[in-house]
Structure 1
Amino acid sequence: MAHIFVCQDDALSDGEAIKVDAPTAAIAVFKVNGALYALNDRCTHGNASMSEGYVEDDGTVECPLHAARFCLKTGTALCQPATEALQTFPVALVEGAIYVDVPEAA
């Protein structure tokens, strides 16, 4: 696993997301009610960036293109048109910095 620096914790406000380019995929990192989540940045239904989606206080994100909703904790697709879950990634806060763990490129 590669330990990828995202940003300083205070650079990501509650209810916001940031996109990070990792070696194997683009990752969307979210902060909701102080908790951090990381998902694959590409919607499973269409070519939309989830980091540009609508982050909800209930721990979901809505795709900005087709209004599909996903659970930030599990990546589960919660409504049509998406039926496939988004991949999730471990995310950690270490000494005031946010990191995400992603598989290393082959």
Structure 2
Amino acid sequence: MSASRACALSDLTQDEAHRVEIDGVAIAVVLDGNGEVHAIGDLCTHGDISLSDGFVEGETLECWAHGSAFSLKTGRPLNLPAYEPVPVYEVVIDGDDVLIDPSVTKATA
């Protein structure tokens, strides 16, 4: 599978998460304060809550329900109650298109 158009770059608001679904995979797309676009799995691993309804601060996305924050770069939870990471996807910007391949997760260190 190749990358699919997730949304327009112009649809994104800085420091807010935008929920998209590609091939049945829910993804939270975030334009951070540095202008970098991130794509992580949209479901909190603690409670199956949509992360795109959460709060963006710096390079983290916090679940609104229980407060677990996830790194936008690695998907790792930064605090409890979540302890499992969410997937992180490669993002390609082509003009105003944000492209994501939900079948390929980003390797994180």
With the length of structure 2 as denominator, give the TM-score of the two structures: 0.88
| Map of 1:93 onto structure 2 | 93
Once the two structures are superposed, what CA deviation does each residue of 1:45-88 show, in whole Å capped at 9, x if it has no partner?
0021011110002x001101100011000001100000001111
1-structure distance, mates of 2:15, 2:31: 6
Map 1:48-87 → 2, pairs under 5 A:
48-57=49-58, 59-87=59-87
Q: Which consecutive residues of structure 2, in runs of 5 or more, have no partner in the other structure?
A: 105-109
1-structure distance, mates of 2:18, 2:102: 16
With the length of structure 1 as denominator, give the TM-score of the two structures: 0.90
SS in 1 for 2:88: coil
Q: Which consecutive residues of structure 1, in runs of 5 or more, have no partner in the other structure?
A: none
1-structure distance, mates of 2:3, 2:88: 14
Any conservation in 2 of the 1:28–1:39 contact (CA below 8 Å)?
A: yes
Identity value in percent:
37
- Give the RMSD, CA atoms, in angstroms: 1.4
The number of aligned residues is 103
Read off the aligned partner of 2:37 and give its amino acid letter: L
Q: Which runs of structure 1 show a deviation greater than 2 angstroms over 4 or more consecutive aligned residues? A: none
Read off the aligned partner of 2:7 and give its amino acid letter: C
Higher relative contact order (CA 8 A, sep 6+): 1
